């Protein structure tokens, strides 16, 4: 990711964070619309899960400029997701739901550059999570 992309992720997340819980709930609604088979993977209250999503997005938006520092937390998240039943193919659906949600919440501020920045950030995080998950036996 370029420095400009990192800044776009960070600044656009600040906007999303203002209405964070609503955005996160919309994300899960879209995720389950895209793939209803994912719903049973979530055993906690969806509002509680939404708070966790916001924490993860905040970690990414604030940590993307210092990826080596946050990489252990991202890898740990990937390993935990194996226990939840997440498969490598599910990351694509999550990425689609995330980009859709960001577009809906940011409106005109979700420019092509912002989309590309978030897609790059998601790809980095998803790749690290999948690598860590692949090592779980």
**Closest listed residue to residue 99, CA positions, set 123, 79, 118:** 118
Residues 6+ apart with CB under 8 A from 54: 17, 20, 21, 23, 24
State percent of the chain over pLDDT 70: 100
Its pTM surpasses 0.95: no
Give the model's pLDDT for residue 65: 87
pLDDT digits (tens, 9 = 90+) for 84-129: 899 999 999 999 999 999 999 999 999 999 999 999 999 999 999 9
Q: Cα separation of 30 and 124, whole Å?
A: 22
Residue that has been written with the tokens 């819980």 in this structure: 21
Give the model's pLDDT for residue 107: 95
Structural domain including 14 reads 3-134
Number of domains in the chain: 1
Cβ pair 4, 120 in contact under 8 A: no
Hey, what long-range contacts does 48-51 have (CB within 8 A, 24 or more apart)? 49/24, 50/21, 50/24, 50/25, 51/21, 51/24
pLDDT at 137 over 80: no
Q: What average pLDDT does the segment 123-137 reach?
A: 93
Residues 6+ apart with CB under 8 A from 90: 35, 38
Give the model's pLDDT for residue 44: 80
Q: What is the CATH number of the domain that holds 70?
A: 1.10.490.10
pLDDT digits (tens, 9 = 90+) for 27-83: 999 999 999 999 999 888 889 999 999 999 999 999 988 888 999 999 999 999 998
């Amino acid at each position: 990711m370029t420095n400009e992309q990192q800044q776009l992720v960070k600044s656009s997340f600040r906007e999303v964070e203002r209405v964070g819980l609503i955005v996160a709930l919309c994300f899960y609604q879209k995720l389950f619309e895209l793939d209803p088979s994912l719903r049973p993977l979530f055993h906690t209250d969806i509002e509680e899960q939404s708070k966790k999503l916001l924490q993860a997005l905040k970690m990414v938006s604030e940590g993307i400029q210092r990826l080596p520092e946050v990489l252990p937390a991202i890898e740990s998240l990937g390993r935990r997701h194996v226990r939840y039943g997440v498969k490598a193919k599910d990351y694509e659906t999550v990425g689609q739901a995330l980009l859709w949600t960001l577009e809906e919440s940011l409106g005109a501020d979700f420019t092509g550059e912002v989309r590309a920045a978030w897609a790059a950030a998601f790809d980095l995080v998803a790749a690290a999570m999948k690598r860590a998950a692949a090592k779980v036996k």
